[in-house]
Amino acid sequence: MKTNERQFIIHHLGLYYLSISVRCLLSKGYPLVLAWFLLSSMHVFAQTDSSRALDEVTVKTFAPARFMAGLKIQSIDSVTLQQAKFQTLADFLSFQAPVNFRPYGNGQLTSIGLRGTSSNHTAVLWNGININSPSTGQSDFSTLPTAGFDLLAIQYGSSSCVVGSDAIGGSILLDSKPTWEKKAELSFGQRIASFDNWQTQLSARLSGKRFSSKTVFYKGVLNNNYPYTERNYYPVERSTTDSKGFIQDLFYLTKKQNQISLNVWLSDNNAVIAPQSIHTREVLQTQSIRVLNTYQIKKLTLRGGYVQDITNFGRGNFDKPSRTAIDRFLIRAEHEWQFSKLTAHIGTEAAHVIAHVDGYGGSKITENRLDVFAWLRYQFSARLLATLNARQAFVKSFDPPLAPALGLEYQVAKSVRLTGNISRSYRIPTMNERYWSELGDPNLKPEDGFNKELGINWNHTKNDFSLSSSLNAYHNLINNWVYWNPEVNYKVQNLQQVLAKGIEFSQKVAYQHKQISSGLMANYSFTHSSQQKAYDIYSVDVIGKQLIYIPKHNFTANLFFQTLSFGKNGLLKEHGMPFRATLQWQANSRRYTAFDNSKWFDGQQIFNLIIENGLRWKHLEGKVFFQVNNIFDELYLSSKRNAMPGRNYAINLVLNINK
């Protein structure tokens, strides 16, 4: 395909997806946003003077991170991502960060909690757009594959001013990254694991100076054929999960260094609990379509997107499942200016939501949302950096608070940096919380949080050793916390005021000498999250008590050893790839299951071992990963008082063709 033909196709694909969003917003009444959007577009596409000198464009996948001064951001390196390409984000992040996951079983619904908050207080961003379900306000981390993304980061603490709604506890950042060099890669991966579980992946990358493409197909089946029905008198719940998906990332760089991209992500997941018995069987089907088109022209970025989430839930023979179907149309426009030491970034994002949910009484619910934001970054000196951000959301029948934030970073010495951040956050109640028949309340108030945190970072390198440490303390007070109140038949109310506070410590030690490298990455967090006000006479006993399913202490550690050459002669010497062994550890203290802390799950410790090696011959690479999970056969429970699997094994084979 010729270059101009390829540009024509990509360009018009983008216009098609953008036009969907524009038509939707025009019909639903965002004339000012639409007018600004079209005026910006006219300015962009009118640049036809090839003799005009254009500024060099630096393409960044997640520009907002530059405006998060004072916030803790943990990036995951590519080597670690490659080891975990067959894992879900829930399984992977459990051993990488002090993050609280709450699984309902192996391969079943898994929710996240950051810094003592609940599952709908963490935003999940895919290439800059929030993919949390508008109905539940959260993402199922058992359906998010690690292999689908090039960049992965965890952002801790309130970031509503940058991310928007949901980011009271933090956010998960998932991004795709183009490669602007001539390269062709084909990869096939197969995983075979205990309990008759398996996964298959096929991916291809093709890139040149102006074109970059990544295609990923994945398919996995968890039959969970356990050889036991109970562990230490706790039942082991049988379930099956069938998941598959397709990811396509396309990037094109014009002669004027403008970037056009198209990102597509399709997923289909089917989980069956107790499949052996029709009387106790539960079926959860989830399907998603995510399409994002982005134009980056100099300092102006335009996005148009479409997201569809479908959920079917039923019991028994699954004849009449409860159905949820939500469509979202998104447009976003933002521009950045550079004035000496000051960087200014302003933008707006509009969304139109259409919900068909059986639980809402059969009627279609539509909703328009608009966000306006401004971010400022000022480099006072080589040592002092400050950011000042603000976001205002507009939603019909709501009055979300203005979300400002001030962040500072100060380089005290060459190896010591101090950080601080003060921010206000908010969460717009989910559609389930507002519109669920009889239990929902359309008049709920948005949740309103005020977060303060301080941090210190220390880095030191000497000879073959490098050392980095960080210590963060935070205090996050959240008002109007939405609560499904059991005292009134679980009707939704703004009842709780919750205070989440704690400290986080991370340590990285690395050693590199000739062909040998090793290192330790460890994290610890202390989290105290409790209700602060009583809303009736029955809630007095829970004041100051730890919220359920949130452990006070959480530890993770990864110890690795790697050698570039395994063997002094022969086949391994000539064609061998690095040998790497990684020992993972994850532990947490007791998790309370009763609001008065009278019942709990005991603390747990899980150890995993991963061994990796491979051979390389010309353009062909073959890697083998052998993994032992839960080495010491630890008994730990899910949120349903069912035991999770004991010791289990997996072997992964990955074949790569690079040219």
Distances (CA, A) of 348 to 171, 259, 302, 373: 20, 20, 10, 6
What is the full DSSP assignment across 451-485?
A: EEEEEEEEEEEETTEEEEEEEEEEEEEEEEEEEEE
Cβ(308)–Cβ(328) under 8 Å? yes
- Provide the residue count of the chain: 659
Pick the closest to residue 444 from 378, 398, 497 (CA basis): 398
CA distance 588 to 573: 42
| DSSP string for 176-189 | -----S-EEEEEEE
Bridge partners (DSSP) listed for residue 520 = 509, 559
CA–CA separation, 186 and 200 (whole Å): 14
- State the amino acid at position 195 in one-letter form: F
**Closest residue by Cα to residue 205 from 250, 246, 245, 174:** 250
CATH 1.10.3720.10 is right for the domain spanning 63-658: no
Quote the pLDDT of residue 8: 37
Output the CA torsion sign for 40, 42, 45, 50.
Answer: negative
Which token pair is 645? 């699997």
* pLDDT score for 13: 38
As a whole number of angstroms, the distance between CA 161 and CA 158 comes to: 8
What is the spatial distance between Cα 398 and Cα 443, in angstroms, rounded to a whole number? 8
Task: Identify the helix (H) or strand (E) that includes residue 81.
Answer: helix 78-83
Secondary element (H or E) of residue 559: strand 553-563
CB 393 within 8 A of CB 425: no
Q: What is the pTM of this model?
A: 0.87
Task: State how beta strands 579-588 and 183-193 pair.
Answer: unpaired
Rounded CA-CA distance 350/482 in Å is 25
Q: What integer pLDDT is reported at residue 327 of this predicted model?
A: 96
Rg (CA), the chain: 25
Encoded tokens for 318: 């699954």
Q: What is the pLDDT of residue 84?
A: 86
- Using CA atoms, how far apart are residues 180 and 63, in angstroms rounded to an integer? 19
The β-bridge partners of 172 are 124, 154
CB neighbours of residue 240 within 10 Å: 21
State how far the Cα of 626 lies from the Cα of 389, in Å rounded to an integer.
Answer: 46
Ordered by start, the domain boundaries in the chain are: 63-658
- The predicted pLDDT at position 336 comes to 95
- Name the pairing type of β-strands 365-379 and 342-357: antiparallel
Per run of 10 residues, the mean pLDDT along the chain (length 659 residues) is 40 39 39 36 35 34 79 87 88 91 89 93 94 93 91 92 93 92 94 96 95 96 94 91 96 93 96 85 94 94 96 88 94 94 96 94 90 96 96 89 96 95 95 92 92 96 92 96 86 90 96 91 96 81 92 96 73 78 96 92 95 90 95 90 92 93
